[in-house]
Structure formats: C-alpha cells, structure tokens
C-alpha cells in the first residue's frame, strides 16, 4: 500500500456531517478512487498543479493531453519542468515527473490536440478536468461530452470540471452534461478582449497600450504589406517594441516594455502561481468528491479573487433553454 493510500484512508473510513445519507464509508470507496480514470486537459500552469494534486489524492490512472512544448518563460510557475526540458512536450515531461515522485501512479500523456481523439476515447473517463487556456477548446470538449450522453445509460454522463485563472482571479465550474448548465450556457459571462477607439490611438494616444496598438494595426501593415505580425517571432516582437517606443517618445508617454507589447497584441494576462494552486486544489477537491461520493459536489460555479484580499463566491448557474449545445436535452 502506498503512503498516499495510507494518508487518505482515514478520511474514507468516516462519514462527515455533510455527506449524503446514502454514503457508506469503507474499502469500497477507496477502491472506487484508485480504479477511476481521470483525464486532464492541459499541462501548463494549472495542469501541473492538477496532476500533482490528483496523484497525491489517491488517483492511480490519469491521462493528460497537451499540444504545447516547454518554453523558458514557463519555468517560473510550471514547477514540473526544468531547464533541460525546454523544447520537449509538456504532457510527456509532466507525466514523467509526477510518476517519479508518486510510485504506483500511472499517467498516460498525449502530445497533440483534443480534437485528435474521438468520442470513444473520452467515453472511458469518469471525470474530465480542464486546465485549458482557450475558450474554443473548452467549447469543443463541452460539446463532445454533451453529445456522449445517452438518456438510457447513466454511465454515459461524464463530469466536466473546468478551471480557469486570470492573474489574481480564478474560477471552478462543475458541469454535469444535460443536468446542469454546460459551458456554452455561461458563455456570455466571459469578458471580451480590450479594444481601443481608432481615433484615440491614431490622433491622441494617452497610454502605452495606445502606442502599441497603433504600431501593430497601422504601421505594421503599411511597412510589411502582406506579412502577418507574428508575436511568436522574436524579430517581429523586437520591431514592434522599437517602433512603439519611438511613438511613445513622440507623445511623451512612458512605460513601453517588451512584455507589455506581447500582452497587448496577444491579450496576455500574467499567470500567478498562487492562483493556479488555489484553483487546481478546488478542481481536484471536486474530482475527489465526485468519485468517492464522500461529500456534496460544488453547485456549480465558484469564483475566486485575490487582487486586494481573498474573496470567494459560489452560486448555481442556471441552464439556458435556448442553449445551442444542451438546450432541450
């Protein structure tokens, strides 16, 4: 028996005051935990925390999908990676590291896109935890899991736990396809990308962001014609940075940095390791409760804010009858 199992066993041998009346603690609960199959989507800042938490919570078979490779900029918060891992697939390195630290845990990585896998692949999991940074990818997995549901087969319902972070803010959603609000139902709560009036950035820039936006939308097309600005190309980023500095100097504006240029054009919000840790803990706590039935699960949306102090709020997001994905099901 592993040290993880020994540590968890006392919690599964007793019945807490919040547990359902039908819940019966015992070895069967531990068996359900250790034989369940969990899928983690994303092995970045949030995904690294989730994988570590799942392994330390008693889960034995974990699958992970990620299409990215490790970059130097990842190392300050994605703690499963080291300098020698740069250029390697995140999913593979994360799996290797966690399995090395947690004996008896089997993590199966896949380096590629979510869309590479068919419905039969996703049907094998009891819980899917999303640590994705893409709205479209979230919509895709949400749609896929809703489509898996067979009204005559309860086992076809796959729980989706969606975690997301944005600076010092984060959220956790527990989605039970066709029973609770799906991801698409809450799409209108997602804030859009910040935009700036064209007249302001052209004639009267007041902020560093105005200068960067002008250079990227006006000067770049004029200077480079049909070539698209690629913010993953260091030469393009350098050009944008230098031209933005020149325009800012012209209008007496300070604060132009290379990282700000990346943030404005790519709409990047700095990732905070502590926020990732908090939201990952929430996601894994829900996965543990779902699999063991030891406590009621989140109903169904939790938001966290750590900007000025610590604030959390939980509420039940309602299903939309006109939802294009789950409406009418």
Lookup: tokens for 38: 């969990």
The DSSP annotation for 291-326 comes to HH--SPPP-SEEEEE-SSS-EEEEE-PPPPTT-TTT
E strand or H helix at 20, and its extent?
Answer: none
Lookup: tokens for 207: 């902020």
Q: State the catalytic residue, choosing from 185, 199, 284, 326.
A: 199
Cβ partners under 8 Å of residue 185, min gap 6: 317, 318, 319, 320, 323, 325, 326
Strands (E), 194-318: 301-305, 311-315
Taking the CA atoms of 100, 106, 110 and 113 in sequence, report the sign of the dihedral they define: negative
Mark whether 326 is an active-site residue: no
What gap in Å lies between CA 46 and CA 62, rounded to an integer? 15
Catalytic residues: 199
């Amino acid at each position: 028996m592993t040290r993880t199992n020994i540590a968890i066993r006392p919690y599964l041998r007793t019945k807490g005051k919040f547990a359902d009346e039908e819940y019966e603690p015992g070895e069967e609960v531990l068996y359900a935990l250790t034989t369940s199959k969990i899928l983690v989507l994303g092995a970045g800042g949030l995904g690294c925390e989730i994988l570590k938490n799942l392994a330390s919570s008693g889960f034995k078979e974990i699958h992970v999908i990620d299409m990215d490779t490790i970059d130097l900029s990842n190392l300050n918060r994605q703690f499963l990676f080291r300098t020698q891992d740069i250029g390697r697939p995140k999913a593979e390195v994360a799996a290797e590291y966690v399995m090395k630290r947690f004996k008896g845990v089997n993590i199966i990585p896949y380096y590629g896109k979510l869309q590479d896998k068919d419905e039969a692949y996703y049907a094998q999991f009891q819980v899917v935890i999303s640590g994705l940074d893409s709205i479209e990818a979230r919509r895709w997995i949400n749609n896929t899991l809703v489509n898996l549901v067979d009204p005559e087969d309860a086992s076809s319902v796959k729980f989706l736990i969606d975690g997301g972070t944005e600076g010092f803010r984060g959220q956790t959603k527990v989605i039970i396809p066709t029973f609770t609000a799906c991801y698409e139902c809450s799409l209108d709560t997602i804030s859009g990308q910040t935009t700036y009036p064209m007249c302001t950035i052209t004639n009267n820039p007041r902020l560093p962001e105005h200068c960067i936006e002008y250079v990227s939308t006006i000067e770049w097309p004029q200077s480079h014609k049909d070539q698209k600005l690629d913010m993953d190309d260091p030469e393009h980023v350098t050009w944008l940075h230098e031209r933005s500095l020149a325009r800012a100097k012209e209008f007496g504006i300070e604060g132009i940095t290379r990282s700000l240029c990346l943030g404005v054009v790519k709409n990047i919000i700095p990732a905070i390791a502590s926020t990732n840790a908090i939201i990952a803990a929430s996601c894994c706590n829900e996965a543990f409760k779902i699999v063991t039935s030891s406590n009621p699960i989140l109903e169904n949306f939790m938001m966290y804010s750590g900007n000025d102090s610590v604030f959390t709020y939980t509420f039940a997001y309602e299903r939309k009858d006109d939802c294009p994905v789950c409406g009418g099901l």
